[in-house]
Amino acid sequence: MAYLGLPSKTYEILEKYDFNFKKKFGQNFLIDTNILENIVKGAEIGPDDCVLEIGPGIGTLTQYLCESARQVIAVEIDKTLIPILNETLSSYDNKLIINEDILKVDINALADKYNGGKPIKVVANLPYYITTPIIMGLFEAHVPLHSITVMVQKEVAERMQVGPGTKDYGALSLAVQYYAEPKLLMIVSANCFVPKPNVDSAVITLVNHKEKPVNVENESLMFDIIRASFNQRRKTLTNSLSNAGLNGITKEKILASIEAMNLSPTIRGEALTLEEFAHLSNLLNK
């Protein structure tokens, strides 16, 4: 089986199946074998690993994953790609192709069945519009994860790594850093895809923390507070949280908690560190 990472092979398959790219699924297929090899290397995929691939497309990266991993579960939402995947992956008996929306898949059940409940590795080339819901969904569902290695828009990868006081700092930055250690693997030019996207991409690996970096009594409350803080970035933290309608949390409580932390009553959410959000959440949880 010839590698689909070779542009000629990709075009051959697309032509054979008369495939039309669907904008609603954000489809861009990689056509660079070096990058494909580096993704598998960066994700540290080995012969004992069970890998969940989100959005395999025509199976370009899946071929490399199948050659390195013990088991590959490929979840593809576009039903027109399933016959293509059945052909391009026909020589691998360690793959499972699922035609489903990843947000509706019971990943815990898959990890139980195919990896004995042990942590799996997720690899994905994610369309921009659904990057955050997928990453947050994986973390918040407490799926047994070792790491998530994703191709995302370059700006999104940058957002995952930044700290307070920067314009890119937000709920995604805090969530990623609470659950995992982000590590940028490479920047990928738009020229490495077909069709060519409007922006460059980046591959980032998020390795799950063995122990969370902060102690939080009520995780969901902390994330409600974080989301509320960034929903109205220009407002003070007090006003953002007061307007959010958080259950039983009054403006007086918010002001008292901010004061107890020796912070200014006019501080904005974007100035708080993860530790400070955890502290605030614990105070408001009492």
Distance CA 206, CA 155 (A): 16
Beta carbons of 156 and 162 less than 8 angstroms apart: no
Is the pLDDT reported for residue 234 higher than 90?
no
CATH number for region 219-285: 1.10.8.100
What is the DSSP code (8-state) at residue 44?
T
Q: Say how far residue 218 (Cα) sits from the centre of its chain.
A: 23
141 pLDDT band, cuts 50/70/90, is confident
pLDDT band of residue 265 (cuts 50, 70, 90) is very high
Using DSSP's 3-state secondary structure scheme, residue 120 falls into: strand
Largest CA distance in the chain: 66
How much is the average pLDDT of 266-282? 97
Mean per-residue pLDDT, 77-103: 96
Calculate what percentage of the chain has a pLDDT beyond 70. Answer: 99
Residues in the chain, how many? 286
In angstroms, rounded to a whole number, what is the distance separating the alpha carbons of residues 270 and 267?
A: 8
Domain residue extents for the chain: 7-208, 219-285
Q: Write the CA distances from 233 to 164, 167, 181, 236, 269, integer angstroms.
A: 12, 10, 25, 8, 7
CA angle 120, 124, 125 (to 5 degrees): 175
Predicted TM-score of the model (pTM): 0.90
CA distance 274 to 177: 8
Model pLDDT, residue 132? 87
Please give the CATH topology (third level) of the domain spanning 7-208.
Rossmann fold (3.40.50)
What pLDDT shows up at residue 1?
52
Q: Taking a C-beta distance cutoff of 8 angstroms, is the pair 141, 107 a contact?
A: yes
